Structure 1
Amino acid sequence: MNTKRKLAAGLGAACAPLLVLASVTPVSAHGYINSPPSRQAQCAAGTVSCGEIKWEPQSVEGPKGLRSCSGGNARFRELDDDSKGWKVSDVSRSQQFTWRLTAPHRTSTWQYFVDGQKVKEINDNGRQPPTTVTHTVDFGGLSGRHKMLAVWNIYDTANAFYACVDINIR
């Protein structure tokens, strides 16, 4: 075999594993609200004792259309327990909420619900967000203590990410 063929064969053998790695699909999107602190952010910070979610606050993923803090994920069912002693954040009637995205993914919509009623929806039309996303939510005439559910609907999967924030609207 001549030198050029040996070099080409060697490069081909060396690059084959890289081609396999490049074709592996990356992990799906992950994210949660970190400001004001969501229930999973409180778990991660040790503010509330919670189980497995402490290590994976970004992993509250489930099928689109759910209305639970755990996203229907049994591993994180503690997030659905309203009596767990969640820290309540004082917020204004127009409040910013910041998501921390550890693996941004193309986004369909962002939805915000207070006590089960949708108060805001943002259509991202399939755009891929940056690693930090902030939305301003107007609570209108609401006041007092509430549980807000935020939903990040992924564009090209059947799943969404869920985050609950316990709030006191001033």
Structure 2
Amino acid sequence: MRIRTTRNNAKWYAAVVGLATAGTFVLSTGSAGAHGYTDQPLSRQKMCASGGTVANCGDIQWEPQSVEGPKGFPAAGPADGRICSANHTNFGQLDQPKTPSGGAWPTTRVTGGQNYSFRWQFTAVHATTDFKYYVTKPGWNQNHALTRADLNTTPFLTVPYNGQRPPSTLSHSGTLPSGLSGHHVILGVWTIADTANAFYSCADVTF
């Protein structure tokens, strides 16, 4: 009788632990800081995503949508040298001037002074203040992690969103800066209205 009771208790305890573990998994998955990136122009995190064009990027390959950091750029936000990773040390490959293989980041070809359609993909949507786009200056230092000194810190495009929630895919258009040539980085910043954070997306382009 005692043996049967012990076995029943053990089964009951195992079931409870199993449910608790499953519940924890669901909660942690549902609340993960998850959310969006640019795929036009193609961002570094999208290139690193599983099955993307750049291999061995580390954790970012599983979470291209999670480059979330403090908002308020350029006065606030991620530290210099950690802008593309939004201060996430486990996404540090995004800050490096070279890919993990040592080659240059692949670029999207664009033309200065012409209209361009920027596109974001979202895995979770948030009330949105705006989208802003910055670009590196002529003669910027391509051999180190991106800093504010490398960027024109006045956005060349601002798209207000007035607290609305975007659809799962969002495109908007704007004019690219003129007078640039060669390799540059376009930094897209998606600012969230009801949290203290924004999402950062670095894309390499060739003008």
Name the counterpart of 1:46: 52
For residue 200 of structure 2, give the secondary structure of its aligned residue in structure 1. Answer: strand
Partner Cα separation in structure 1 for residue 163 and residue 122 of structure 2 = 16
Greater Cα offset, 87-96 or 151-160: 87-96
TM-score by length of 2: 0.65
Q: Does 1:164 align with 2:202?
A: yes
Q: Which of 60, 64, 79 is the matching residue for 2:67?
A: 60
Unaligned runs of 5+ in 1: 1-23
Q: Percent identity?
A: 42
Gaps of 5+ in 2: 1-26, 137-150
For the residue of structure 2 that corresponds to 1:127, the secondary structure is: coil
Please say which of residues 60-69 and 150-159 is displaced more in the overlay. Answer: 60-69
Deviation digits for residues 81-115 of structure 1 (CA, Å, limit 9, x no counterpart): 11222101101332112100110111011010001
Give the Cα–Cα distance (whole angstroms) in 1 for the partners of residues 93 and 160 of structure 2. 30
User: Aligned equivalents of 2:195 and 2:94: distance in 1?
Assistant: 23
More strand by share: 1
Q: String of CA shifts for 1:115-165, please: whole Å, max 9, x gaps.
A: 122211111110111111112231231332210100000000000001011
Aligned residues: 145
**Counterpart secondary structure, 1:113:** strand
**How far apart are the structure 2 equivalents of 1:29 and 1:135?**
22
Letter in structure 2 aligned against 1:62: G
TM-score normalised to the size of structure 1?
0.79
CA contact (8 A) 1:69 1:79 kept: yes
Aligned to 1:90: 109
